[in-house]
Chains A and B, each alone.
Chain A
Amino acid sequence: MITDEPAIWTQALRKSYPGRGAALDGIDLAVPAGTVHGLLGPNGAGKTTTVRILATLASFDSGQAWVAGRNVARDRAGVRARIGIAGQYAAVDGILSGRQNLEMFARLHRMRAREARARADELLERFDLVEAAGRPVKGYSGGMRRRLDLAVSLIRSPRVLFLDEPTTGLDPRSRLEVWDAVRELADSGTTVLLTTQYLEEADRLCSRITMVVRGRVVAEGSPAELKSSVGGRDLDEAFLLITEGA
Chain B
Amino acid sequence: MTVSISGAMTDAVTPHGSRITWAAVDTWVVAKRHLLHLVRRPDELLGTLMIPVMAVAMFGFVFGEAFGVAMDVPGAEYREFLLPGLFALTMAFGIGNTTISIAEDVRGGVLDRMRSLPMSPVAMLAGRALADMILAVVELTILLALGTLFGWQAHLGIGAVIAALGLLVLLRMAFSWVGILLGLLVSGPEAAMKYFALVFPLAMVADTIVPTDLMPGWLALPAEWNPLSSTVIATRELFGNTAAPATTWVGEHALTMAVLWPVAIIAVCLPLAMARLRRLGR
Residues of A within 8 A of B (CB): 1, 55-59, 77, 80-83, 85, 87, 89-96, 100, 104-105, 107-110, 122-123, 125-126, 136, 152, 154, 156-157, 159, 181, 184-185, 188-190
Contact = CB atoms under 8 A, between A and B. Distances in A.
B9 A57 contact: no
A229 B282 CA distance: 37
Interface SS of chain A: helix, strand, loop or mixed?
Answer: loop
Nearest to A149: B113
4 closest Cβ pairs, A-B complex:
A91-B109, A91-B113, A81-B12, A156-B12
Interface in B176-198: none
Contacts of A81: 11-14, 118
Interface residues of B, number: 38
A80 B116 contact: yes
A94 B105 CA distance: 11
Contacts of B114: 108
A85 B4 contact: no
A185 B108 CA distance: 27
For A95, A125, A159, A189, the residue with the greatest tally of chain B CB atoms inside 10 Å of its CB is A95
Secondary structure type dominating chain B contacts: loop
B201 interface: no
B118 A95 contact: no
A214 B26 CA distance: 39
Interface string B1-14: 10111111111111
B37 A95 contact: yes
Interface in B114-131: 114-119
Most-contacted residue by chain A among B3, B25, B32, B114 (CB, 10 A)? B3
A91 B110 contact: yes
A123 B4 CA distance: 9
B9 A189 contact: yes
B6 A185 contact: yes
A122 B3 CA distance: 7
B252 interface: no
